[in-house]
């Protein structure tokens, strides 16, 4: 039996989808355990180029079952649209399963996400506007609607009717929005319209809905290989990320056990996914961010534009402090280092091994709780030589240029964890296993 959690070690977009698609060839079950359609997992494989938001990245292997775990928040019409897109590409989605305990993202969650961001003004978090935060708020407040309600129309209607008066009161508390967003507000609080759209989506999704824990339990009993697919990364974890610039779920392995529905001790390995440099979408501190030609070159070569929102990703050098922080929280067995090929063009590469506080000269080797302290910390860099050679055709560790191997080995030292996989391109064949 082996259960491997695949977890983002940075700010998200490390290449988790790519790694899961690659590993899923040998897995019977892939489970998304948190987040919702804020995720954008791009998978490039022999079938094409796919952008997944909710659907787990094992979907392209017909013999692999894919479960949306109880910890995920699901926008049913968005899921139906994603399934339709896959169907258009020749995948019937018969290997998709949805936990009956997963919570729903409602139209008013999307609206509230937008209203809250508007009110934050200059302090906005830069969310994906997919309603993720408000959906988790309702889950914790014990007034959420779940997948199981979607297949019990009477329960769905009753819970929706119970929720809307409160939502209308909350929305009325944003008077500035009443005129500008009148149409969105009407649509997101229209009981009949929501019920029609959601129950129609529920009818479409009903054949995929299962007792998620039962499915996982059977799979464990049979000794199958299971992958737990993370969303986002440690630095956006609700508890451990750069609060408040975080998401509303737990990308780290603690969240995997809870959100997939299996015992924590069943997780045999945790594979951290880290990019060979740093990117982030959304606001908050990013100590190694580059607003110069190097940053542009990273964005350009790495095609660093958000999969979900199209926003240009903020780019910078590799931050070994952030990854080490993630190592301590996630307990990686090893790390998959992606996008090494993006660095092919650089004559020298910087790595932040620590931060320094200009206020008092203190050196930091962990991530501070205080966002205002973190904002002012400056990276302490070490410089490594670039290799200025094309790595995209390398298929073995030995084929990589010596300077590229030295770079990987230095990151390995700084993380105190072996780097087991080195990715030199988005395709399955471009994964070097050491
Ligand atoms: P995720 O959210 O962690 O799944 O990552 P994303 O899919 O949002 O972003 C990673 C992007 O990098 C995707 O477009 C991948 O196709 C691409 N990618 C993954 N690994 C590599 C690699 O080794 N080299 C290059 N050039 N692109 C990669
Ligand atoms: P994957 O799974 C990168 C960021 C948003 C914002 C913060 C909170 O592809 O790595 P949310 O909409 O979750 O309330 O936004 O998190 N964010 C992501 N950044 N990749 C993602 O997913 C993200 N999902 C959310 O930009 O800063
Ligand atoms: Mg992504």
Q: Which residue has the higher pLDDT, 187 or 178?
A: 187
How do the domains of the chain map onto residue ranges?
Answer: 2-99+210-270, 104-204, 276-433
390: confidence class by pLDDT, cuts 50, 70, 90: very high
Cα 70-21-61 angle, rounded to 5 deg: 85
Q: Which two tokens stand for residue 73?
A: 């928040």
Catalytic residue among 13, 113, 237, 294: 13
Tell me what pLDDT residue 1 has: 52
pLDDT bin (cut points 50, 70, 90) of residue 9 is very high
Atom of ligand 1 nearest to the CA of 44: 16
pLDDT at residue number 137: 98
Residues 6+ apart with CB under 8 A from 365: 321, 324, 354, 355
The mean per-residue pLDDT over the stretch 142-154 comes to 96
> Is the backbone of residue 261 left (phi > 0), alpha (psi -120 to 50) or beta?
left
Here the contacts of 386-390 (C-beta below 8 Å, separation 24 or greater) are 386/343, 386/344, 386/345, 386/346, 386/347, 386/348, 386/349, 387/343, 387/344, 388/344, 388/345, 388/346, 388/347, 389/344, 390/341, 390/344
Question: What's the pLDDT at 80?
Answer: 98
Distance 69 CA to ligand 1 centre (A): 23
The stretch 207-225 carries a mean pLDDT of: 97
Report whether pLDDT(267) > 90.
yes
Ligand nearest to the CA of 136: 2
Q: Which ligand is nearest to the CA of 15?
A: 1
Q: Judge whether 284 and 263 are in contact, CB under 8 Å.
A: no
Asked if residue 133 has its Cβ within 6 Å of ligand 2, the reply is: yes
Whole-structure pTM value = 0.97
pLDDT band at 179 (very low <50, low <70, confident <90, very high): confident
19-75 pLDDT, tens per residue?
999 999 999 999 999 999 999 999 999 999 999 999 999 999 999 999 999 999 999
CATH architecture type of domain 2-99+210-270: 3-Layer(aba) Sandwich (3.40)
* pLDDT over 90 (residue 310): no
User: Annotated catalytic residue: which of 21, 41, 53, 113?
Assistant: 41
235 Cα to the center of ligand 3, angstroms: 14
- Ligand 2 centroid to 42 CA: how many Å? 14
- Alpha carbon nearest to ligand 1 atom 10, residue: 15
The two three-digit tokens of residue 7, written as one number: 């977890």
Ligand 1 atom 16, closest CA: 426
| Span from the CA of 400 to the centroid of ligand 1 (angstroms) | 19
Q: What is the mean pLDDT of the chain?
A: 97
Report which protein residue has its CA nearest ligand 1's atom 28: 426
250 lines ligand 2 (CB under 6 A): no
Mean pLDDT of 404-432: 98
On the question of pLDDT at 387 being above 80, the answer is yes
* Pairing state between β 378-385 and 209-210: unpaired
Give domain 276-433's CATH architecture.
Alpha-Beta Complex (3.90)
Q: Give distance in angstroms: CA of 79 to centre of ligand 2.
A: 18
Closest-approaching ligand to the CA atom of 20: 1
SS3 40: coil
Write out residues with Cβ below 6 Å of ligand 1.
8, 12-18, 40-42, 44, 307, 338-339, 341-342, 423-426
Model confidence band, residue 308 (pLDDT cutoffs 50, 70, 90): confident
Counting from 1 in the atom list of ligand 2, the atom nearest the Cα of 38 is 24
The pLDDT of residue 176: 87
pLDDT of residue 178: 84
Which ligand is nearest the CA of 244, by number?
A: 2
Q: Is 41 a catalytic residue?
A: yes
- Domain 104-204 carries which CATH code? 1.10.300.10
Identify the helix (H) or strand (E) that includes residue 274: strand 269-275
Which residue has tokens 């013999």?
63
305 lines ligand 2 (CB under 6 A): no
- CA of 346 relative to ligand 3 center, distance in Å: 24
What average pLDDT does this structure show over 116-125? 95
Supply the pLDDT for residue 138. Answer: 98
């Amino acid at each position: 039996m082996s259960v491997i959690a695949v977890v983002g070690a940075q700010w998200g977009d490390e290449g988790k989808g790519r790694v899961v698609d690659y590993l899923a060839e040998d897995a019977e079950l892939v489970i998304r355990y948190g987040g919702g359609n804020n995720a954008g997992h791009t998978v490039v494989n022999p079938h094409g180029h796919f952008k997944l938001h909710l659907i787990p990245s094992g979907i392209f292997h017909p013999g692999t079952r894919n479960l949306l775990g109880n910890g995920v928040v699901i926008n049913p019409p968005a899921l139906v649209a994603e399934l339709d897109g896959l169907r258009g590409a020749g995948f019937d989605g018969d290997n998709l399963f949805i936990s009956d305990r997963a919570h729903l993202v409602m139209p008013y969650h999307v609206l509230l996400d937008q209203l809250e961001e508007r009110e934050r003004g200059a302090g906005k978090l830069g969310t994906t506007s997919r309603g993720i935060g408000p959906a988790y708020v309702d889950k914790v407040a014990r007034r959420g609607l779940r997948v199981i309600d979607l297949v019990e129309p009477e329960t769905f209607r009753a819970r929706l009717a119970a929720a809307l008066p409160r939502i209308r009161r909350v929305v009325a508390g944003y008077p500035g929005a009443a005129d500008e967003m009148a149409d969105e507000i009407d649509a997101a609080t229209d009981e009949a319209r929501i019920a029609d759209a959601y129950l129609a989506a529920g009818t479409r999704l009903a054949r995929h809905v299962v007792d998620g824990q039962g499915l996982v339990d059977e799979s464990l009993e049979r000794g199958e290989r299971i992958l737990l697919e993370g969303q986002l990364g440690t630095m956006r974890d609700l508890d451990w990320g750069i609060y408040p610039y975080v998401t509303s779920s737990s990308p780290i392995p603690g969240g995997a056990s809870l959100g997939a529905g299996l015992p924590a001790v069943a997780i045999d390995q945790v594979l951290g996914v880290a990019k060979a440099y740093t990117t982030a979408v959304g606001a908050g501190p990013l100590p190694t961010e580059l607003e110069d030609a190097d940053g542009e070159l990273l964005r350009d070569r790495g095609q660093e534009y958000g999969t979900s929102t199209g926003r240009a990703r903020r780019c910078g050098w590799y931050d070994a402090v952030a990854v080490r922080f993630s190592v301590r929280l996630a307990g990686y067995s090893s790390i998959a280092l992606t996008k090494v090929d993006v660095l092919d063009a650089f004559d020298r590469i910087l790595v932040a091994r620590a931060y320094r506080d200009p206020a008092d000269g203190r050196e930091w080797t962990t991530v501070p709780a205080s966002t205002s302290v973190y904002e002012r910390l400056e990276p302490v860099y070490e410089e490594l030589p670039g290799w200025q050679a094309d790595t995209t055709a390398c298929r073995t560790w030995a084929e990589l240029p010596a300077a590229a191997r030295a770079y990987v080995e230095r990151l390995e030292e700084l993380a105190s964890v072996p780097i087991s996989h080195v990715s030199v391109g988005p395709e399955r064949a471009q994964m070097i296993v050491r």
